[in-house]
A and B are shown apart, each in its own frame.
Chain A
Amino acid sequence: MKVLVPVKRVLDYNVKPRVKADGTGVDLANVKMSMNPFDEIAVEEAIRLKAAGVTEIVVVSIGEQKSQETLRTALAMGADRAILIVSEDKVEPLGVAKLLQAIVAEEKPDLIILGKQAIDDDNNQTGQMLAGLMGVGQATFASKVELTADSVTVTREVDGGSETETLKLPAIITVDLRLNEPRYASLPNIMKAKSKPMAQKTPADYGVDIAPRLTTLKVVEPAKRSAGIKVADVDELVAKLKAMGVAK
């Protein structure tokens, strides 16, 4: 059984994003970049599913040349081979989904596992769009995955609790935070990953139109909260709460 895992290179989640002074976006020059944390969980899940019949894991990234590093990380974790579609321009989720659809047509995976969202643009769209384009089942926000030969049963995190669905294969799963704890790649595996195959393509190779539909007019910092006051004791806090009408 073959699994495809799309991954994205993003600003490391421990780095505080700085909005550029000219309002064109967030400054990504000379800052630490990492694999989108949700995608790491997707890679980890694919590796764990090797115990349930997965034989090959193909990771794919769409982005700048440096996304090679992200793919190498996935290979060091345990993925088998990688495909990089190089685009120095930003590709929107709809374009990414179309490119992935083209890869799926070639690779014919049984399962596609990806992060529920990337922590840069926070769109939360790609998996659902790919499922829509392919006309297959989608299980978003997965917290548990049980794979059989022809179906997958997924527990999803939904508002207020959890929900379980069964999908026919092929299917799309987008993963949430609690599905697993991704492993760190060991040094020998990092060395081994260097010799694993990585194919390089361009969007043109797939004949897919990825022209953006959205124009970002400006990016600003959110309104800042100013620090308030420190109250001396509980009585003063109770008085404030009463004044706000929160307490009687």
Chain B
Amino acid sequence: MKTLVWVEHDGATVKDATLAVVTAAAQLGEVHLLVAGSGMDGVAAQAARIAGVGKVHVADDAAYAHALAENVAPLIARLMADHDAFLAPATTNGKNIAPRVAALLDVMQISDILSVESEDTFTRPIYAGNAIATVQTKDPKKIITVRGTAFAKAATEGGSGTIEQVATTGDAGVSSYVGSEIAKSERPELTSAKIIVSGGRALGSGEQFHAIIDPLADKLGAGVGASRAAVDAGYAPNDYQVGQTGKIVAPEVYVAVGISGAIQHLAGMKDSKTIIAINKDEDAPIFQVADFGLVGDLFKLVPELTEKL
């Protein structure tokens, strides 16, 4: 089987999310990549070095600069004439683009796969991860998005893919990019952080949230998250939210501070390798999933922990 993998990049470098998709694609067959954007020489060269990569299709056109689905979907649909499966990371870009490609090819997409069981069978989470479905597709072409935390990352070096420029499809003329605001933070992004420190409503205020959570996160080199309750209360910005309707994370270590562990929150973090919970209520549901629980006053315990680390 020949696969085509969407390379997620920021215009200059290949993003980590791509690497797990390469691993998933390699389980299906030959791995080809698609690098779409504007001024892609550097990204293409980097992509070609990813271990296990065959051909790297490069579509260099201003119309692809911001990965507008209206512009890139026709390109992918055309390239799919020579490929059997298209795989994209389940990032906001991948989720935006893949279903549009699926519709153009009259294929039912398989979203957010956790494993490849065979050429046509995959597992995927439903009900916010409260159930895992095994699904088999009848479609001759496969359109798939891949949950990054479920697959090992392919090595960024060691590959020798051949770079090939492909004809572009231009601007579909129905949408235009206006601008973006990407939060600049010294901290790692939640979805790729190895360690996350999350705060809940027990922090009591925005000031206390930052005063208690930030130093611990800095000490651990961790990303900062929050429960929906903390976000709704205005203690933390929207993009911090971990949970069913926020970000789904699976770091090596997840530290839940003053988070009770509502179903919606657990759905977003229960695949973390190690969960540490600090909460004053010893019956809080978070302790049912925590590997290490510490019962007590977070305002005393967290600063002490920060200091002793």
Contact = CB atoms under 8 A, between A and B. Distances in A.
Interface of A: 11, 13-14, 16-17, 19, 25-26, 37, 92-94, 97, 119-133, 135-141, 143, 153, 156-168, 171, 177-178, 212-222, 225, 227-231, 233-235, 237-238, 240-241, 244, 246-247
B177 to A, nearest CB: 6
B191 interface: yes
On chain B, which size bracket covers the interface? 35 or more
Contacts of A25: 131
Interface string B240-268: 00001110000011000000000110000
Given A16-B263, A26-B127, A217 B121 contact: yes
Contact of A11 (B127, B264, B305): B127
Interface in B252-309: 252-253, 263-264, 270, 274-276, 282, 287-295, 301, 304-305, 308-309
Given A94-B106, A128-B96, A132-B104, A121 B126 contact: yes
Contact of B177 (A143, A157, A165): A165
Overall SS of chain B's interface: mixed
8 contacts: A14-B263, A17-B127, A17-B130, A139-B175, A164-B177, A219-B133, A230-B287, A230-B292
A19 B100 CA distance: 31
A54 to B, nearest CB: 20
A137 B100 CA distance: 10
B208 interface: no
Q: Which 8 A-B pairs have the closest CB atoms?
A: A132-B103, A228-B291, A128-B99, A213-B108, A161-B182, A137-B175, A125-B99, A129-B103
A139 to B, nearest CB: 8
A247 B131 contact: no
Contacts of B110: 214
